[in-house]
């Protein structure tokens, strides 16, 4: 018979990983209607944010920024291109490299997306300072976990 020990370290509600996972799911669900109004998915939004910061990034650079592999992003790049938001161009110095450039429509979408971060702050019920402190702590945790990986 299984023991129901309320002090067990293996209880789901005691797990930091589950708190992070479930919060990430909630955050993505919160973003969904905001991004649907722009015709975007969350991964598309992340790619566009990277390009709004610096246009002309390579697919590999975006992949590293988003901490994922290029292969999983390639279909998203193609969809954004089909939607007229970016252009994929082979590098003139290395044909293996694909560079991504915003179109006028992709640049214009930034203006419509600028309200999204404020919506998140308001929904959180937290101050901007508290959210920034939380983000910094999570980034530090992520860095330490990455360093600890074999």
* pLDDT tens track for 22-44: 999 999 999 999 999 999 999 99
Q: Which two tokens stand for residue 20?
A: 């992070």
130 and 87, same domain (yes or no): no
Mean pLDDT of the chain: 94
What is the arithmetic mean of pLDDT over 115-126? 96
Q: How many structural domains is the chain composed of?
A: 2
92 and 137, same domain (yes or no): no
Phi (first) and psi of residue 117, to 5 degrees:
-55, -35
Q: Is residue 98 part of a domain?
A: yes
| Helices 42-53 and 70-82, axial angle in degrees (round to 10) | 90
55 and 100, same domain (yes or no): yes
CA distance 108 to 17: 37
Q: Which two tokens stand for residue 129?
A: 């300072």
Q: Are 32 and 71 in contact (CB under 8 A)?
A: no
pLDDT tens track for 39-86: 999 999 999 999 999 999 999 999 999 999 999 999 999 999 999 999
Domain of 76? Answer: 30-114
96 and 72, same domain (yes or no): yes
68 and 119, same domain (yes or no): no
64 and 126, same domain (yes or no): no
Q: Are 57 and 99 in contact (CB under 8 A)?
A: yes
Q: Is residue 133 part of a domain?
A: yes
Q: Is residue 21 part of a domain?
A: no
Global confidence as pTM: 0.90
Q: Which three-class secondary structure string do you get for 94-126? A: CCCCEEEEECHHHHHHHHHHCCHHHHHHHHHCC
68 and 105, same domain (yes or no): yes
Q: Are 60 and 46 in contact (CB under 8 A)?
A: no
Q: What percentage of the chain reaches a pLDDT higher than 90?
A: 91
Phi (first) and psi of residue 100, to 5 degrees:
-115, 130
């Amino acid at each position: 018979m299984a023991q129901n020990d309320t002090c067990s370290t293996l209880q789901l509600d005691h797990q930091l990983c589950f708190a992070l996972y479930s919060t990430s799911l909630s955050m993505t669900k919160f973003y969904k209607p905001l991004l649907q109004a722009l015709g975007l998915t969350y991964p598309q939004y992340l790619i566009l944010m990277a390009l709004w910061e610096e246009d002309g990034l390579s697919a590999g650079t975006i992949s590293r920024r988003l901490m994922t592999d290029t292969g999983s992003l390639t279909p998203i790049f193609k969809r954004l291109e089909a939607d007229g938001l970016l252009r994929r161009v082979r590098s003139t110095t290395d044909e293996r490299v694909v560079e991504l450039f915003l179109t006028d429509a992709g640049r214009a979408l930034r203006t419509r997306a600028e309200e999204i971060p404020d919506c998140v702050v308001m929904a959180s019920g937290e101050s901007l300072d508290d959210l920034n402190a939380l983000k910094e702590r999570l980034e530090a945790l992520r860095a330490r976990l990455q360093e600890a990986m074999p």
